[in-house]
Amino acid sequence: MKIGVVGAPVDLGQERRGVDMGPSAIRIAHLEERLAALGHWVEDFGNIPSTDMSTAVLGDTRARYLEDVVDQCGLIARLVARSVKEGYFPLVLGGDQSTSIGTAAGLAEAGSRRGIIWLDAHGDFNTPKTTPSGNIHGMALAAILGYGHPKLANLGGVRPKALEKNTVLIGGRSFDPKEAEAISRSKMTVYTMRQIDELGMKKVMEEAIAVAGKGVKQVHLSFDVDAIDPREAPGTGTSVHGGLTYREAHLAMEMLSDSKKVTSAEFVEVNPILDTANLTGQLAVELILSLFGKKIIA
């Protein structure tokens, strides 16, 4: 497979510094070399130029740093669209989850008939009207599905950028009150940690793959590392106890690999400042390898 790596060192979508170093943390865990060892061709498209909080304009506190986030997502979209046009599987490395809006905008240049599998401790389904924080990383999925601020929802000229009925949210355990109401009203399929406990990860992933892939040829994977329990992935800014185990996360990636449904992916919210010896960056690489076909035994 031809894999096009896009670095998105963006930290404006949330309030804790350091997540802009996430792409470097993942790369220095030998991402390219280890993917190449699996037989893939890897092209690194580099990082988009990014603005940090020292120079960005805060603006409306209901959508913090909106203009700068929109600009940066536009740059991500262009690189993602380029990678698709050149025949690469786009693999985006964040940065905070606001980068997902740019990823989706780039993918949507080729159409919006797409499913999404979104692994995250949070819903990311807020809008400026419901958010308690104003952090855009908590609005990413809503914007992708056409809700919220027009500058986010309309980014790239396609709204929505994926199909709501083919969107599956997995691993949720911390939703804001109004956000939870919106999620309940949505057409998404949602598996909170309770459903994972009750059904088991295998059943959840079987159902998720079926829902996301029904009637479409493209499925995008978005993996926020805070989906994993912080005891195993400490290097992230909004950790919540009670998340996926190491093996549950790997099983999810292995099943997605076996399904051959995933056509693009992103791994976000790795924050090396909060990490221990790049444990979370290394874990992200291990999960990426499982997604791209690494097996315990051939």
Helix axes 279-291, 246-259, angle to 10 degrees: 30
Residue type, 180: A
Q: What is the predicted pLDDT for the residue at 112?
A: 93
Q: What is the predicted pLDDT for the residue at 3?
A: 98
HSE-CB for 18 with a 13 A CA cutoff = 14
DSSP 269-293: ---GGGSSTTHHHHHHHHHHHHHTT
Write out 145-190 in H/E/C secondary structure: CCCCCHHHHCHHHCCCCCCHHHEEEEEECCCCHHHHHHHHHCCCEE
Q: Is 43 helix (H, G, I), strand (E, B) or coil?
A: strand
* Residues lower than pLDDT 70 in the chain: none
> pTM for the complete prediction?
0.98
List, for residues 263-283, the tens digit of each pLDDT value. Answer: 999 999 999 999 999 999 999
Q: How far apart are CA 184 and CA 75, in angstroms?
A: 33
Q: What is the predicted pLDDT for the residue at 296?
A: 85
Q: What is the predicted pLDDT for the residue at 8?
A: 98
Q: What is the predicted pLDDT for the residue at 137?
A: 98
Is the Cβ–Cβ distance between 73 and 99 less than 8 Å? yes
Is the Cβ–Cβ distance between 62 and 236 less than 8 Å? no
Q: What is the predicted pLDDT for the residue at 279?
A: 98
Domains and CATH numbers, the chain: 2-291 (3.40.800.10)
Q: What is the predicted pLDDT for the residue at 33?
A: 98
Q: How far apart are CA 281 and CA 94, in angstroms?
A: 11
